[in-house]
Amino acid sequence: MTARIQPSILSADFANLQSELERVGTADGVHVDVMDNHFVPNLTFGPRMVEALQRVSALPLDVHLMITDADRWAPGYAELGVFSVTFHAEAAQDPVALARRIRQIGSRVALALKPGTAVDPYLELLPEFDQVLVMTVEPGFGGQAFMADMMPKLRTLRAAAERHGIELWLQVDGGIAPETIGIAAEAGADTFVAGSSVYGAADPDAAIAALRETAAAVHRHG
């Protein structure tokens, strides 16, 4: 199992985003948190900023939409040519139709689940998705504590993906740091968003390497 590390630019310096992307050049992708002050009580940026990031980023963009009315707005992000578009299950009327549309446009598609959202209703829909994002904090802010009680969701999703015979990336977002990444890796996560623990480090690339090695070691040894 590959361990992918995706720094979240939520914790980067918004006045210098191009150079902040370059500070994490060894990452597997960059996680871009779009917040609308409605789905979550915080506001970041919208499609014009994502388009600008896409233009200058050497790394694939993993766009995490924390917005209401995903059915209406998510396809526009795929049309920017980003690597992956994640919408929240709680914000979509028709997750399957939306997932198909995003794939058809050409981006990978992911389903995100807030901590209070159960996985069971979505297990039969997994073949429609390339990735599931299990939130390990309440969405809205960086720097919150990792919720280890979300780990059963990862185990359920990993078992369901195996049953379906699909290659589903399992992503965790919130509180991922050297002390927590092993817990998520052990539960089946392979794709790790890390905001404050990467951008708060003196050497972000060293922090990425350490996180990746910790997760990979857990994947190797169980």
Ligand X SMILES: O=C(CO)[C@H](O)[C@H](O)COP(=O)(O)O
Known catalytic residues? 33, 173
Q: Does 62 engage in binding with Fe ion (CB under 5 A)?
A: no
- With CB cut-offs between 5 and 8 Å by kind, which of Fe ion, ligand X, none does residue 175 bind? ligand X
- φ/ψ of residue 219, rounded to 5: -60, -35
What does the alpha-carbon distance between residue 27 and residue 29 come to, in Å, rounded to a whole number? 5
Q: Does 41 engage in binding with ligand X (CB under 6 A)?
A: no
What does the alpha-carbon distance between residue 219 and residue 3 come to, in Å, rounded to a whole number? 8
Q: Does 33 engage in binding with Fe ion (CB under 5 A)?
A: yes
Task: Using the minimum distance from each CB to ligand X, give the nearer residue, 33 or 130.
Answer: 33
How are the residues of the chain apportioned to helix, strand and coil, as percentages rounded to the nearest 5? Answer: 45, 20, 35
- Closest residue (Cβ) to Fe ion? 64
Residue 119: closest CA among 111, 127, 130: 111
Q: Does 196 engage in binding with ligand X (CB under 6 A)?
A: yes
Task: Using the minimum distance from each CB to ligand X, give the nearer residue, 83 or 164.
Answer: 83
Distances (CA, A) of 122 to 37, 107, 113, 201: 26, 20, 10, 36
Q: Please pick, from the candidates 28, 128, 173, 190, the single residue that binds Fe ion as defined by CB under 5 A.
A: 173
Stretch that binds ligand X, among 99-107, 119-127, 151-159, 190-198 (CB under 6 A): 190-198
Q: Does 31 engage in binding with ligand X (CB under 6 A)?
A: yes
CB 57 within 8 Å of CB 21: yes
**Residue 33 marked as a ligand binder:** yes
What are the tokens at 31? 């996680």
Q: Does 8 engage in binding with ligand X (CB under 6 A)?
A: yes
Residue 95: closest CA among 65, 115, 57, 116: 65
Amino acid at residue number 147 = M
CB 33 within 8 Å of CB 193: no
Stretch that binds Fe ion, among 42-50, 59-67, 115-123, 210-218 (CB under 5 A): 59-67
- Please give the annotated binding residues for a divalent metal cation, written as ranges: 31, 33, 64, 173
Residues that bind Fe ion (CB under 5 A): 33, 64, 173
- Please give the annotated binding residues, written as ranges: 8, 31, 33, 64, 140-143, 173-175, 195-196
- Please give the annotated binding residues for substrate, written as ranges: 8, 64, 140-143, 173-175, 195-196
Residues that bind ligand X (CB under 6 A): 8, 10-11, 31, 33, 64, 66, 137, 139-144, 173-176, 193-197
